[in-house]
Amino acid sequence: MSKYTAIVDASGKPFQYRSPYESATQSFRAASWHSPSLGPNASLSNSLHTLRNRTRAAYRNSNLMRGAINKNTANEVGTGFTLRSLCKDEAFREQANELWKLSIDEMDPCGVLNFPGIQAQLSRNRRLSGEVFIRHRRRKTSSGLHVPMQIDVLEADCIPLEKTEDLKNGHKIINGVEFRGPHRVAYWVHSQHPEDGHCYQDDLVRIPARDIIHHYLPIRPGQVRGEPEAATALLKDHTFKEYDDTELVRKKERSIYTGFLSRESDDDDDYGLPGDHDDESNVDEAVRVQLGRLLRGRLNEKLQMFDGDNTGQGYGDFMGWQARQLSAGLSIPYPLLSGDWNGLNDRLVRAMLNEYRRELEMYQDHLMIFQVCRQVWQWWMDTAVLTGKLTAPNYAADKAYYQALDVCPDAWQYLHPVQDVEARQKAVSSHLSNIDSEAGEMGSDVDDNMRRNARAAKKFMDICEKEGVDPALVTGLFAASVSGGTSE
């Protein structure tokens, strides 16, 4: 049968009734394939509440889900991102960096977390709820803060999904975010968490977009709200957890039974003591014995001991494959998720971690650095200059000059300390890299490192002189550099 129909298009060519793509087939194989045509916001609007609540429930109750989100957060943030000024004015740069070090412990209005701790909270909630919001809070100069500003972290529930309408001024509100054309101009925020006490629809406050950071991953162009990271793995995680719990309960219930005592026949010729069968209701169904007891049975009685519970051939492989699918849906290597490192060597571990870290570096740069660190730094710099904490001539006309910023994520731990350090040294000596970049990747400042090393070296020399000891004869940290040798 021909695959062409009698219907032709505008050019006179017959239409194909069969799709050239097998995955676009309409045959019975795809009869239950639900694939609606939905825009980026329509697909989330009706499902986001459920996805968000189920992800949080899984985080509370599922070991694998909790471990995956915690490990992804820890590997993305670590001990926090280091922010340093790159302003070409050296005096301003040093002053800004010193002032920032004092401010990072004052960012939380509750005083519970410092700024690196807030970064971890943001990353965790972005994965749990798909998004999280940060509100800029201006404080009085008499507040006692080194720079009078702080930030509030708002859960996704605080910006209502149901708030969608067209305004008289031509603006449009989509899922709680107000737009003027393609530009975000405001966010409509509940005065308190809607699921944590009394909250009403009319308690919404309009906050300008310049005072809000929306931290989320826009998967599709035009996507207004964020999708929870575990969206594709939730159902499998729930089913897998229930199956594993059911299997565990089955084993527990079976483990209380040791054996079964039975008779091969029940003839009248069986001997027994008088009264043994007078009242069958008094017969014990279970018999407990002590250790070392010798049992004696009746004629034709047989004791069958239960074998150890066998979960079946391939059970471990089945469970491992299910866990691997979960790890794929949660974007975390299977060994990190499960703790199963069998069959891996150092080369495989290095390749696996390199791939994993590559994805995390994308989130670090695109989301945490661009969305959060950069914007918070600009808020902080504006406030510091406006309140006279920093002196910046012509600041309003040349903000980019003063706000130049370098953000370094927390360094990855060495997989092979000797090889990794030697590789960095060779990269610098071959001009493939530089000391500033290498120190930055380690989360430190090369200028600060050199000053500290110089102070320590000077102190070492002073002590040697005071004690009347030749520094070249002393083995230790500075012996090689003093004697002109090279340290290994």
Gyration radius of the chain's alpha carbons: 34
Instruction: Indicate the Cα dihedral angle 344, 346, 348, 352, nearest 10°.
Output: 110
**pLDDT number for residue 279:** 53
Could you report the per-residue pLDDT of 382-393, keeping only the tens digit for each? 999 999 999 999
Q: How far, in Å, CA of 73 to CA of 97, rounded? A: 26
248-254 contacts at long range (C-beta below 8 A, 24 or more positions apart)? 251/309, 251/311, 254/306, 254/309
> What amino acid is encoded at 82 in this protein?
T
Q: How far, in Å, CA of 179 to CA of 188, rounded? A: 11
What one-character-per-residue DSSP string does 221-259 give?
A: TT--SPPPTTTTTHHHHHHHHHHHHHHHHHHHHHHT--E
> What amino acid is encoded at 288 in this protein?
R
User: Is the pTM above the cut of 0.95?
Assistant: no
Domain boundaries, the chain: 41-264+316-410
CA distances from residue 308 to 151, 312, 397 in whole angstroms, order as listed: 58, 12, 79
**pLDDT number for residue 159:** 95
Tokens of 48: 């986001």
**pLDDT number for residue 488:** 40
Could you report the per-residue pLDDT of 343-359, keeping only the tens digit for each? 888 889 989 999 999 99
**pLDDT number for residue 482:** 46
The distance from CA 372 to its chain's CA centroid, rounded to whole angstroms, is 16
How crowded is residue 122: how many other Cβ atoms within 10 Å of its Cβ? 24
Do residues 149 and 379 touch, judged by C-beta distance below 8 A?
yes
What's the CA angle centered on 102, arms 409 and 72, to 5 degrees? 25
CA distances from residue 190 to 53, 154, 202, 207, 249 in whole angstroms, order as listed: 18, 10, 9, 10, 44
Q: How far, in Å, CA of 449 to CA of 217, rounded? A: 36
- What residues are paired with 155 via a beta bridge? 132
| DSSP 3-state of 134 | strand
Instruction: Indicate the Cα dihedral angle 25, 26, 29, 35, nearest 10°.
Output: 90
Q: What averages of pLDDT result for each successive group of 10 residues across the chain (488 residues)? A: 62 72 82 87 92 96 95 95 93 95 96 96 97 97 95 96 94 96 96 78 89 97 96 94 89 77 63 51 58 66 70 79 92 93 89 93 96 98 96 94 93 82 87 83 80 89 87 64 44
> What amino acid is encoded at 250 in this protein?
R
Determine which helix (DSSP H) or strand (DSSP E) holds 360, and give its type and residue range. helix 346-363
Alpha helices for 14-89 (secondary structure H)? 42-45, 48-61, 63-77
**pLDDT number for residue 29:** 84
